[in-house]
Amino acid sequence: MIKPVLFTAENKRTQSLRRGLSAQTHVSLPLCGEKKSPSITNSTMKKIFLHSLFTLIISIPSFSQNNEITQTIAVFPYQHATDADAAIANMQTWNTSNWSSLFAMLDDDSLKLKASYALSAYVHDAATDAQKKSKATANLLPGLTVTKSYYAKELLIKYLGALGDDAAVKPLSKLLSDASLADNAARALAAIHSNNAIAVLKNASSKDPANRSIQSALENVNRPLPVLKSTPGLQKPYNNFVQQQLYLQDKMEAAKDPIQKKRILSDIAQIPGFGSFMLAAKSLNDPELNKDAAFIVTRLALADKEIRGPIVREALEKALPLLKGEDSAVLAKKLIVHLKTMPYDNGFVSLFNEKDLSGWKALVGNPIARSKMTEKELADAQNKANEKTKGDWIVKDGLLVFTGHGDNLATDKMYGDIEMYVDWKITEKGDAGIYLRGSPQVQIWDTSRRDAGAQVGSGGLYNNQTNPSKPLVVADNKVGQWNRFHIIMKGDKVTVWLNGQLVTDKVVLENYWDRKLPIFPKEQLELQAHGTYVAYRNIYLRELPANNVSIISEDEKKQGFTMLYDGTHMDNWTGNKEGYLSEDGAITVHPELKGGNLYTKEEYADFVYRFEFQLTPGANNGIGIRAPLEGDAAYVGMEIQVLDSEADMYKNLQPYQYHGSVYGVIPAKRGFLKPLGEWNTEEIVAKGNKIKVTLNGVVIVDGDIKEAGGNGTMDHKEHPGLFNKSGHIGFLGHGDVVRFKNIRVARL
């Protein structure tokens, strides 16, 4: 196909020149019946023509070169991933002349927007790679002198600061004496934050102490993170990420000015981890802050794969459409990939919605007493307790508050191994705690209560008798200030961090209700009521997998099943082990690492194949059966489709393309996949020409490939492997994230 000519700014300039040339030659010609003007001779006309032609000729290479640059940056900001990567890679090969053309575009109001988007993408790609960063700085520095507009210079200064390379310090220091650019230059030097950059700022400050731009930059460089002190006399001042997060949340809730709030968000962005992510996510609903918050939560999540779960996914999906402007060029692409690869399992949920007591109930008895009740007795007792304790626990100003009267508040759900974050605040003489698996307790109290032994601090396992009950250190904040527990319970052992300090380290939690018994494997969580006011917020929890190893049942053993993947190793598989990884007890497809298929080492003829799978939005994969190791298994063998069939993008597929179908040959019944994020179970039985597929207990395919292909296949294509006697079983990657686990097979 012949490509159409792009009507770029260079085309316009060329056409304008041609129109000018035509106008000049036209003026030199006499009208009909008119005498030639004595002021324009044939010689003069010839000179004008030759001069214009020469100008056009020498301009053509420049136009061609600019046209190439225009096409390179045309993908921004609305780019596909491959287009953006290709454009950035192209920019990395540009020579001095190319960059001069881009700088000229930054000076042109009609061209600067695309050039700005491209420059942003280029800088953000280079900023995390030392070699690229150095080269990018060298490419941008000439722009400080060749650009003319304030817009262009300001942008270049900003990005030189973002790159953080010392090579920019000297050129930026020269701009500190420029009244219009000094503020930008000072901020850029502060962003570089190297010893050289700080020395330049200090030297400039000593020469001009009244220069507010330089002083502000130095304040930013030297500003310490906030320090909170523990209860007087109990601990030395300390400073850590958790304390900073608590401080910044209080500061954000008190702030009234949007500018002040944005500065607080900027501080939050500098603190890694889940706590900062959730704190920044609170601003996604604020129209004045949501765009800033979107960039912050995206960067925090991309930097830490442990930031995951339904509440994380919800926040990131809310952030994605807010990533606008020049900084979004690469970030949005990375977030889309991250959302697809982020596991649905073992992620954080919120146990408190800041609106009501959804997910919570009044306490009924203790775990042993409840276990002896019938279902009806327990339901009746629960209803009475709920009615009796109304008003004891309330939601006020987004906090979960115990008023000081009543009994414990318990979760509706029972939990085993967990990781939990919870903020708490008490008043003078306060006493409370967190029950784990229905058992007391991770202690909370006012450390001034020396008569009760509270001087040891909060976070210990108070009711232990044999194992340690006291915390390792005192880490409490002052009464009336917020504190944060980070609790991990695996098996019978509990670990607690209080305000960022380890206070309980893998200590066995004893069974308070019957000390001869180990702690219950699963039970409800409880917030203890102990007669004094206590408030809670930011209650986040994720369930930890107790055991990733899949085991074949006794019944399956009798049927001859063997384990192909039990969650621990991939020794039974061959092929693309770089793109199929064993993670959290499942084989996870990572198409961003490598494409290709994963096959069993052994071949199978007639068999029963059972597995579980978890889809991601729009995911596409397949189960190859009786397939060779080479070629397209859908044709040289058979493919049982694995697909997010209900995704809108697949609404117009052919019947033989939906989940469970023998691809191109036998269609499957639809409507039996579980919602995204849930695990599906599937069984494939291949016996001679008979193929049977059962999804979540429902038979969706039960057909004969010989009958189905007797008059030609449904897709009207050749399937030479349809009647293979045996072959490998495999996962057929199609560039999407899918997870598989508990994979077993029995030969027939």
Domain locations in the chain? 1-71, 255-345, 360-543, 554-747
Report which residue type is found at 402: F
Q: Each residue of 27-72: pLDDT tens digit?
A: 333 333 333 333 444 554 544 444 444 444 434 344 444 677 888 8
> Both tokens of residue 293?
């918050």
Residue 662, φ and ψ in degrees, nearest 5: -75, 105
- What secondary structure does DSSP assign to 467-525, as a single string? S--S-SS--PBPTTS-EEEEEEEETTEEEEEETTEEEEEEEEPP-TT-TTSPPPSSEEE
- Asked whether the bond before 617 is cis by omega within 30 degrees of 0, the reply is no
DSSP 8-class letter at 176 = G
- pLDDT (0 to 100) of residue 178: 85
CA atoms within a 13 Å half-sphere pointing along the CA-CB vector of 586: 20
Q: Are strands 483-490 and 439-445 parallel, antiparallel or unpaired?
A: unpaired
Q: Which residues, including other chains, have CB under 8 Å from residue 436's CB and lie 6 or more apart?
A: 418, 442, 487, 489, 494, 509, 519, 525
pTM of the model: 0.68
Residues 335-340, mean pLDDT to the nearest whole number? 88
- pLDDT (0 to 100) of residue 7: 31
State in Å, rounded, how far the first CA of the chain is from the last one: 54
- Selection from 677, 671, 676 nearest residue 659 by Cα: 671
Q: d(Cα 148, Cα 104) in Å, to the nearest integer? A: 9
What CATH architecture is 554-747? Answer: Sandwich (2.60)
> Both tokens of residue 570?
């991939």
Query: Which has more confidence, 50 or 228?
Result: 50
Residues 126-141, mean pLDDT to the nearest whole number? 88
Q: d(Cα 218, Cα 200) in Å, to the nearest integer? A: 10
Helix (H) or strand (E) holding 727: none
Q: d(Cα 269, Cα 261) in Å, to the nearest integer? A: 12
Q: Which residues, including other chains, have CB under 8 Å from residue 83's CB and lie 6 or more apart?
A: 75
Residue 598 vs residues 422, 551, 571, 583, 603: alpha-carbon distances, Å: 42, 22, 12, 15, 13
Residues 138-157, mean pLDDT to the nearest whole number? 93
Q: Is 207 helix (H, G, I), strand (E, B) or coil?
A: helix
- What secondary structure does DSSP assign to 94-151, as a single string? --HHHHHHHHHHHT-TTTHHHHHHHHHHHHHHHTT-HHHHHHHHHHHTTHHHH--SHH
CB 643 within 8 A of CB 594: no
Question: Is pLDDT of 2 > 50?
Answer: no
CATH fold for the domain made of 360-543: Jelly Rolls (2.60.120)
Report which residue type is found at 39: S
Q: Is 42 helix (H, G, I), strand (E, B) or coil?
A: helix
Residues 105-114, mean pLDDT to the nearest whole number? 88
Beta strands in 491-629 (DSSP E): 493-498, 501-508, 523-527, 534-543, 562-565, 573-575, 580-583, 586-589, 597-600, 607-615, 620-627
Question: Is pLDDT of 25 > 60?
Answer: no
- Selection from 538, 528, 539 nearest residue 392 by Cα: 528
- pLDDT (0 to 100) of residue 125: 84
Residues 104-110, mean pLDDT to the nearest whole number? 90
CB 84 within 8 A of CB 329: yes
- pLDDT (0 to 100) of residue 243: 94
> Both tokens of residue 637?
């063998």
Confidence of residue 222 (pLDDT cuts 50, 70, 90): low
Q: Each residue of 602-646: pLDDT tens digit?
A: 999 999 999 999 999 899 999 999 999 999 999 999 999 999 998
